[in-house]
């Protein structure tokens, strides 16, 4: 039977009064690629089988307003790592290289005595994605243990690197293969007593939409209930592909269970913070759209489930806005490690532990340029409050939704007389976000740099300006 928050706090206080000074908590951050909020059992979709993630939620807190500020891969990962918005850390386009001197919370944790480990898809190194080796040193941004690939979508046939440029076959579907390496890192705690930060960053359920048969067979495409805003336009995923996506989610879920069991077996459960989230969602045909970079819930909203035994009340829910920019400062706050001043996000560890929703009044979103590959026509900025979502291009407002009356975002209120007052208010809040974070429309770009791999196929760039200069000098190569 669930205990009340009051009983829980009283019991924890009594326990901590007798305890010796606590060792810093370990942190385990689990992050599949492209796992949207709407495709988790405990987050309101009973069609998707996620028993282990659901259990994590009953043992911890659901942070159900967790959002990706820039809902696309490299930018999102850069925000998570640096606690800075993309225009500040430089990762305004997919496949740039994150500056080697970036502020990075794994580096901060390492300096504070943590053992740090990265397993999975890195995607912060820019340049050609294959073979995918990132050498030891500053390009690893503070990670000590390394078993990773820069970026590959070969989920059944991936390879990885440790500290040499010799590729090692993963030999399994990524869900299990990367988890094997996570287990290896965790088992090293038997010999290494330092507190740790480990992150396992899976490629699935990112497309291609294909799960191992055992998982795919758990879903009947004929019986998938499509979201109310699903529109079967050409090129969007079918129910068959959504069934495969769910299969990949369940494959990840099994490995979440395995990693949780490993924590238990090693006696690490009590002093380990576990956070489950994703870099962005997947439209999967909602709004007739595919993939991400969109201002709609299926793209921006991601799972946020955090377990911290004795600190965060089990089976609780907290609706505070928790965006990617807040992850690094919040985890540092939980670890008791000072947050570097260069970070822009907020340390929300106190309200999360207190079960309070006091925090930012809204979430801020930025996309800086077009990508024909998923139908994104250009850069936009957005703000989401508890009641509304608003986004605009530089030259005109784009979408405005009343999320209470229209949670599926099917009635765009932009420019409607009845919505003028709320639109003006959101416009003002958006401008405030841009000003507060140092953003400006001048960070946008229009050249199709993200299409056909232009930005990474031939060489590595840290900035758009560097790339544009190269493209001018090499027009024959810059055809994608």
Least gap, CB of 154 to Ca ion (angstroms): 15
Q: How far apart are CA 338 and CA 336, in angstroms?
A: 7
Q: How does DSSP assign 413-452, residue by residue?
A: -TT-GGGHHHHHHHHHHHHHHHHHHT--GGG---S-TTGG
DSSP secondary-structure letter at 410? -
> Which residues 240-299 are close enough to bind Ca ion by CB under 5 A?
279
Task: Pick the piece of the chain touching Ca ion (CB under 5 A) from 29-37, 108-116, 162-170, 456-464.
Answer: 29-37
Task: Pick the piece of the chain touching Ca ion (CB under 5 A) from 67-75, 95-103, 241-249, 333-341.
Answer: 67-75
Q: How far apart are CA 350 and CA 68, in angstroms?
A: 21
Beta carbon nearer to Ca ion, 73 or 363: 73
Q: How far apart are CA 281 and CA 68, in angstroms?
A: 8
Beta carbon nearer to Ca ion, 54 or 279: 279
Active site residue: 35, 65, 123, 388, which one?
123
Counting every residue written for the chain, the total comes to: 480
> Which residues 384-423 are close enough to bind Ca ion by CB under 5 A?
none
**174 is a contact residue toward Ca ion (CB under 5 A):** no
Q: How does DSSP assign 184-214, residue by residue?
A: HHHHGGGT--S-EEEEEE--TTSSS----HH
Given 29, 31, 33, 99, the residue binding Ca ion (CB under 5 A): 33
Per the CB < 8 A criterion, the answer to whether 32 and 202 are in contact is yes
Report long-range pairs for 452-455 (Cβ below 8 Å, ≥24 apart): 452/479, 452/480, 453/95, 453/480, 454/478, 454/479, 454/480, 455/93, 455/94, 455/95, 455/96, 455/126
Count Cα atoms within 13 angstroms, Cβ side, for 10: 5
> Taking the CB of residue 421, how many other CB atoms lie within 10 A of it?
9
Q: How far apart are CA 117 and CA 163, in angstroms?
A: 13
Least gap, CB of 72 to Ca ion (angstroms): 7
Task: Pick the piece of the chain touching Ca ion (CB under 5 A) from 72-80, 155-163, 173-181, 469-477.
Answer: 72-80
Q: Is residue 73 annotated as a catalytic residue, yes or no?
A: yes
| Pairing between β-strand 61-67 and β-strand 316-323 as defined by DSSP bridges | parallel
Beta carbon nearer to Ca ion, 26 or 255: 255
Which residues neighbour 80 within 8 Å (Cβ) at sequence distance 6 or greater?
A: 31, 279, 324, 327, 328
Active site residue: 42, 73, 74, 86, which one?
73
> Which residues 424-443 are close enough to bind Ca ion by CB under 5 A?
none
Least gap, CB of 160 to Ca ion (angstroms): 17
Least gap, CB of 196 to Ca ion (angstroms): 25
Beta carbon nearer to Ca ion, 27 or 73: 73
Task: Pick the piece of the chain touching Ca ion (CB under 5 A) from 71-79, 165-173, 325-333, 352-360.
Answer: 71-79
- What Å distances lie between residue 422 and 176, 228, 433, CA to CA? 47, 25, 17
Residues binding Ca ion: number (CB under 5 A): 3
Task: Pick the piece of the chain touching Ca ion (CB under 5 A) from 33-41, 48-56, 245-253, 472-480.
Answer: 33-41
Residue nearest to Ca ion (CB): 73
Beta carbon nearer to Ca ion, 183 or 367: 367
Angle between helices 51-59 and 239-265 (to 10 degrees): 50
Least gap, CB of 376 to Ca ion (angstroms): 14
- What Å distances lie between residue 458 and 126, 130, 237, CA to CA? 10, 11, 31
Least gap, CB of 279 to Ca ion (angstroms): 4
- Beta bridge partner(s), residue 27: 197, 273
**73 is a contact residue toward Ca ion (CB under 5 A):** yes
Q: Is residue 123 annotated as a catalytic residue, yes or no?
A: yes
Least gap, CB of 373 to Ca ion (angstroms): 13
Beta carbon nearer to Ca ion, 73 or 198: 73
Least gap, CB of 284 to Ca ion (angstroms): 14
Count Cα atoms within 13 angstroms, Cβ side, for 181: 30
Torsion of CA 123, 124, 128, 131, to 10 degrees: -60
Task: Pick the piece of the chain touching Ca ion (CB under 5 A) from 25-33, 167-175, 414-422, 459-467.
Answer: 25-33
**207 is a contact residue toward Ca ion (CB under 5 A):** no
Beta carbon nearer to Ca ion, 32 or 90: 32
Output the six-digit token pair for 462: 């840290």
Beta carbon nearer to Ca ion, 43 or 73: 73
Which residues bind to Ca ion, rule: CB under 5 A?
33, 73, 279
Give catalytic residues, as residue numbers: 73, 123
């Amino acid at each position: 039977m669930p205990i009340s928050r009051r009983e829980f706090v009283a019991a924890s206080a009594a326990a901590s009064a007798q305890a010796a000074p606590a060792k810093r908590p370990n942190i385990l951050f689990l992050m599949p690629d492209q796992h949207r909020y709407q495709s988790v059992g405990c987050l309101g979709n009973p069609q998707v089988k996620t028993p282990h993630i659901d259990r994590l939620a009953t043992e911890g807190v659901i942070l159900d307003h967790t959002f990706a500020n820039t809902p696309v891969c490299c930018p999102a990962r850069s925000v998570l790592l640096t606690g800075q918005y993309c225009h500040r850390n430089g990762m305004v386009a997919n496949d740039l290289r994150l500056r080697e001197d970036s502020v990075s919370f794994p580096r901060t944790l390492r300096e504070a005595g943590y053992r740090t480990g990265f397993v999975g898809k890195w995607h912060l190194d820019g340049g050609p994605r294959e073979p995918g080796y990132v050498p030891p040193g500053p390009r690893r941004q503070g990670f000590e243990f390394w078993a990773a690939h820069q970026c590959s979508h070969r989920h059944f046939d991936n390879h990885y690197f440790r500290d040499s440029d010799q590729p090692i076959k993963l030999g399994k579907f990524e869900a299990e293969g990367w988890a094997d390496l996570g287990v290896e890192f965790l088992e090293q705690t038997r010999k290494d007593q330092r507190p740790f930060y480990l992150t396992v960053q899976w490629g699935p359920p990112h497309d291609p939409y294909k799960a191992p048969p055992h998982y795919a067979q758990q879903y009947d495409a004929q019986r998938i209930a499509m979201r109310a805003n699903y529109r079967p336009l050409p090129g969007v995923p079918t129910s068959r592909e959504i069934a495969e996506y769910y299969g990949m989610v369940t494959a990840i879920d099994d490995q979440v269970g395995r990693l949780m069991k490993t924590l238990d077996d090693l006696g690490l459960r009590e002093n380990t913070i576990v956070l489950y989230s994703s870099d962005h969602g997947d439209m999967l045909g909602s709004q007739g759209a595919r993939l991400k970079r969109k201002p709609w819930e299926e793209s921006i909203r991601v799972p946020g489930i955090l377990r911290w035994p004795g600190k965060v009340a089990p089976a609780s829910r907290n609706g505070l806005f928790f965006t990617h920019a807040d992850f690094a400062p919040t985890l540092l706050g939980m670890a008791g490690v000072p947050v570097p001043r260069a970070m822009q996000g907020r340390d929300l560890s106190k309200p999360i532990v207190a079960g309070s929703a006091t925090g930012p009044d809204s979430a801020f979103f930025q996309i800086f340029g077009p990508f024909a590959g998923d139908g994104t026509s250009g850069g936009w900025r957005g703000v989401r409050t508890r009641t509304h979502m608003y986004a605009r291009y530089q030259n005109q407002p784009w979408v405005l939704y009343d999320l209470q009356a229209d949670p599926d975002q099917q009635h765009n209120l932009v420019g409607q007389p009845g919505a003028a007052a709320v639109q003006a208010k959101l416009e003002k809040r958006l401008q405030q976000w841009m000003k507060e974070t140092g953003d400006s429309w001048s960070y946008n770009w229009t050249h199709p740099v993200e299409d056909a791999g232009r930005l990474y196929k031939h060489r590595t760039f840290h900035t758009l300006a560097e790339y544009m200069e190269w493209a001018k000098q090499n027009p024959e190569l810059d055809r994608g």
